[in-house]
A and B are shown apart, each in its own frame.
Chain A
Amino acid sequence: MALQTPAVVMDNGTGFSKLGFAGNDAPSFVFPTAIATKSGVGSAAGGGVRPAVASKPSYLTGGAGSGGSLAGKRGTEDLDFFIGDEALAAASGPGYGIHYPVRHGQVENWDHMERFWSNSIFKYLRVEPEDHYFLLTEPPLNPPENRENTAEIMFESFNCAGLYIAVQAVLALAASWTSHKAADQSLTGVVIDSGDGVTHVIPVAEGYVIGSSIKSIPIAGRDITYFVQSLLRDRGEPDSSLKTAERVKEEYCYVCPDMVKEFARFDREPDRFLKHTVTSPNGRSVTVDVGYERFLAPEIFFNPEIYSSDFLTPLPTVVDGVIQSSPIDVRRGLYKNIVLSGGSTLYKDFGRRLQRDIKQLVDARIRASELRSGGARSGGLEVQVISHKRQRHGPWFGGSLLGSTPEFRSYCHTKADYDEYGPSIVRRFALLGGPGST
């Protein structure tokens, strides 16, 4: 076959799903990982009520606890559902309840996920799964049972030609190869993945995640929005809804080199205060002043004490700690390749500030040990934070990049392999893009 079908890349995150074809520079579809189903008799009245928390891991119950009412149906109820933006729209009307099949990056409800996938494939991507290879993503430390479940669905329901499941952090590293700063295509580095709910700092050595050193920070996009909102409220702005706060955050915020100096600078240069116009659906529009929150909002990564009283470790310190807890022989590589990924890392100068702060920590430590050793000189340590253009959909783009390489297919498990060995085959994948592959 002369024209090979492009691989399908699907990155199903907690908040949003990114779908598209390998080789493209942006996902074709980005929509919420949500599914709206007809609220059946079995589920709580009114719909939209979250199912009770399962007492067992979801791979044992299969997440059947909530969607179980379907089992009693004999008609076409199982086809009556919407996904993505349509789901949100349907759920706001009567009769439908919304569900989020992915929680904390892991699939919780396989019934819903299976139907979510079937709709993504047939309605949005419009492909025959028999003709395409699939590249899916998983969070770090995903239990192997979840992988097996995924493979069962992909191979047995959809008969997809081939499957590769990659760790998001590794794909985010691959995505950074497009940056001119990334000197070599190495899969060693620290990924700072900050989405809406949580920020992860994940060290990766030669394509393998160092699971024991992963740290997560309970500060992410949503917290920044809340913080902006509270600042707006304190000032008594005419509109301080969550939506406005989000717009302000996305349009005006940036990272400053020094908080105190920035306050002084704002007072010196009044044109740094901006105005944001909000037009409500009824046509009325109000103006909101935008002031210090422009640099204060992202500052909660670096000085968490201004926002939260529970979590007080700044992001640079966490990153440094993660690298220090990793094996000693990869630390130099990790410092050299700190990669940003996710929507909350897009602030202007975020990477530069992070690099400077980590560098300060490292230099201070080197100086201290030089003093202690009495006269020995250190060669220094290179710290480099890489920010690039594909940061927002980093894992997806990395998947697209790797999925379009000619050798991608040889790394996949095919339907024939699956039929031969069974689901346990997907517990292991050869490392795509690793040493010796390109």
Chain B
Amino acid sequence: MLLLDYQNVLIQSLLTERFSGAPPTSIDQVVSDFDGVTFHISTPESKNKIRISMGIKCFKDLLQYGADQQLQKEYGSYITDIEPGYDFTLLVDLDNLPPSAEERESLVKSISLLKRNAMAAPFERAFDEHAEMAKEASKYSSETAPQGIKEGGEVMAIHYREQEAIYIKASHDRVTVIFSTIFTDETDRIFGKVFLQEFVDARRRAIQNAPQVLFRNEAPLELQGIPGFRASAKGEIGYITFVLFPRHITQQRRTDSISHIQTFRDYFHYHIKASKAYIHSRMRRRTADFLQVLNRARPESEEKERKTASGRTFRVQG
């Protein structure tokens, strides 16, 4: 498993089973997803009405950047009143499903991507903004461009975790996505550094059209002067900058790009852990080898101290 899935496997398997015409049962499950997202799947009224609620930490941020329209577009008639304690709620009536199997499947797919779709809003907006600015900018040469276009749009901040955030900024020739990450563990930080160096090198070596990746411990200039932004004092926060060029955000690639970049943090942490697991397995192997050597080195017959019946020992006289 190199890449992580974007959809929530549990929601997917649960709905697939429900939609396939299995006898209705009541469900009441709290499920979590990455980035502190919680789902609550329940059947509050009757067994045929499945309610799916999502609690997401940064929902306020997302709403600000047009998550409403995005979700409206994606789910439309399935949206219902928000369950208390959560941020967004869908209601699916099993008696009222789309008739064809493909449509049902795509509905399952889209519900299991609920978190992704909610998080996608600011990205979509940034990409749209970029397209507009690019159009605008094509009227000017680089010297005569007015200030607004050169500078780019406002920086959108999504505080998706307690101490970490994604910042997105569109400008006329690129979209910049900055992750601030924090490592609680010293070992992880070192692993992370190696990984990020690989990202930087990969572009240089093999994959020329990959987005540019920068990693540093000081806050990048784009983030200076953003309300609510605090530069870290001790440098335990790292900043990873992705520069998406127009070729990454064409209409047909857009969906993939958004999914990929959203799962970046999880992907990153997953691979740090996977490489630790790999190193551990090598360590175990090495230990086993050493133990084998030690066992081989044991002398055939060990000299035992001999005793008489009364407990006295023989000693070789010098």
Contact = CB atoms under 8 A, between A and B. Distances in A.
Given A119-B1, A128-B34, A131-B36, A158 B273 contact: yes
A318 interface: no
Contact of A128 (B2, B31, B38, B266): B266
Contacts of A125: 32
B277 A114 contact: yes
A61 B291 contact: yes
Interface in B260-290: 266, 269-270, 273-274, 276-278, 280-282, 284-288
A110 B9 contact: no
A41 interface: no
B33 interface: yes
Nearest to B55: A3
Interface in B179-197: 184-185, 187-188
Nearest to B275: A78
B287 A62 contact: yes
A128 B30 CA distance: 16
A61 B277 contact: no
B274 A79 contact: yes
A25 B36 CA distance: 21
Interface string A3-15: 1011000000000
Most buried by B among A1, A71, A123: A71
B226 interface: no
Nearest to A78: B278
Nearest to B2: A79
B277 A118 contact: yes
B281 A114 contact: yes
Nearest to A124: B9
A111 to B, nearest CB: 4
Interface string A116-135: 00110011111111111000
A65 B280 contact: no
B266 to A, nearest CB: 7
A77 to B, nearest CB: 9
B34 A126 contact: yes
A5 B32 contact: yes
B184 A130 contact: yes
A313 B131 CA distance: 79
Contacts of B38: 3, 5-6
A323 to B, nearest CB: 37
B154 interface: no
Contact of A23 (B30, B269, B274, B281): B30
Interface in A152-200: 153, 156-159
Nearest to A113: B277
Contact of B285 (A5, A56, A71, A119): A71
Interface in A58-76: 60-65, 67-68, 70-71, 76
Given A24-B30, A71-B285, A156 B276 contact: yes
A64 B288 contact: yes
A26 interface: yes
B4 A21 contact: no
12 contacts: A3-B38, A21-B29, A21-B31, A61-B291, A114-B280, A114-B281, A115-B274, A122-B4, A124-B9, A153-B280, A159-B188, A415-B184
List 5 A-B pairs, minimum CB-CB distance, nearest first: A62-B284, A71-B285, A64-B284, A111-B281, A64-B288
Interface of A: 1, 3, 5-6, 21, 23-26, 28-29, 56, 60-65, 67-68, 70-71, 76, 78-79, 81-82, 110-111, 114-115, 118-119, 122-132, 153, 156-159, 415
Given A24-B30, A64-B285, A126-B10, 16 more contacts: A6-B30, A25-B28, A28-B31, A67-B285, A70-B282, A79-B1, A114-B280, A114-B281, A118-B273, A118-B277, A123-B1, A123-B9, A128-B269, A156-B276, A156-B280, A157-B280
